[in-house]
Structures are given as C-alpha cells and as structure tokens.
Structure 1
Amino acid sequence: MKRSKLLLISGILSTAYLIYILNYFIGGIFSSDGIESISAGIASALVTPHMLLVGLGVLFNWIGWAMKLRWAALVSGILYAVSILLMFIYAPFVIVQMILCFIAFSRMKKVLSTQN
C-alpha cells in the first residue's frame, strides 16, 4: 500500500503550525517587561490544552503516515477536532488538517479493501 499523500500534507501543515504556535507563546514569556511577561504567561496557560492536542494530533498523524495505520489517521483527525473546540479562535489553522485526516482515513479503507 502506498503512503497517503493527504496525511503527508496534513503532517507538514500541522508540524509547521505547531512550531509556529510554540515559538510564538514561548517567545512571549521571555520578554523583558514584567507585565508583558505575566500577560504572555496567562495567554499561554489558556492556549496550552489546544497546543497539547495539536501536538498529539501531529504525533498520530506522522505515525499514521509512516506505518500506514488507518486508525492513527482517525485519531489524528479527532484530536484536531477537539483542539478546535478548545480554542475556536485558532480553528482556521487546524481545520484543513482535520479534514485531510478524515478524508485520508476514508480513502485508506478503500485501498485496504481493494488489496484484500
């Protein structure tokens, strides 16, 4: 079975987004101004559940792509969906990856059924 191109695209986009969001929020904590550092810490605490679920989604996304596991694509899509619910303002950055994972999940079923 060939590897899913949709999972590859989703993995690349998700990894880039995860690097960006981690860099953005961690970089804000280490600012020189005290008030700015406190507000960045509070904002980071609010976004942490979203970042954790996106991180887990990226992990399962790459596992699903590398090992050709259908269930990992589904888990990744579900984790992206829950991360959208936790921080809805960041939905545009994750919704494409979620859709790609669900489409890859359904296409992997068709490929597996034709191989058997």
Structure 2
Amino acid sequence: ATKIMEAWQTFGINISMDDFGTGYSSLSYLREFPFDVIKIDRSFVSNITEDSKTGAITIAIIQMAHNLNLKVVAEGVETQSELDFLRKYDCDEIQGYLFSAPLPTSKFENLLKTHQLSKFPSI
C-alpha cells in the first residue's frame, strides 16, 4: 500500500487520513504510510472549548502533525468558539456546518463567492 500511495503522490495527489484520533492505530499509520493531511475527527472538535483534556489533545495533534510536515483539517466545526480555538492553534483547514451543510455542486460556487476565506482557504 505504501508504494501505491507514493506513486499517487508523484501525480500530485494528496493523501489524507480521515477521522484521526478515533482508531487505535492512527499513530502507527502515521509512521507506516506517507500521508499529506490528517483530518481531526469531529469528536475532538466538538468539545475543545469546554473540555480542557479535549482541547489539549487537539492542540497536541495539530502540533504533532505540523512537526511531521502534515496539513491539519478539523472536521465538524459548528461554533465560532471552535473556529477561534482552531485558528489560535494554527489548524490549516476546517470543515463543518459553521460554514455550510453539504452542498450540491450548483450551490458550491455561490458559497465561495459570498464568503471570504482568508485564514482557511478550503472548506
């Protein structure tokens, strides 16, 4: 699998690990496979401002990923306080209902036109 993933990367394909933090082997996967991005599971994002342990774990995930030269995407961002927290700790990209529910292609272009996405260039 590693050689296949590396071959994809030669074509400019970025490889993401989804739902990081929920599986028992997430850390070993980081060592074994050539990921470009980790996506922090929403279970860590949903309590980052209320639960100090969850916040500390999320900060550690972001810092670890950056130390490994990986981009970080936070999934399930629903509140301004979650967004503020993630910005403070340099999360690279976000996904979540705070910006939009899933959209059909026809409505996606309008979303991009109506929102200035300076800190988080991807949705």
TM normalised by structure 1 equals 0.32
More strand by share: 2
Highest RCO, 1 vs 2 (Cα 8 Å, sep ≥ 6)? 1
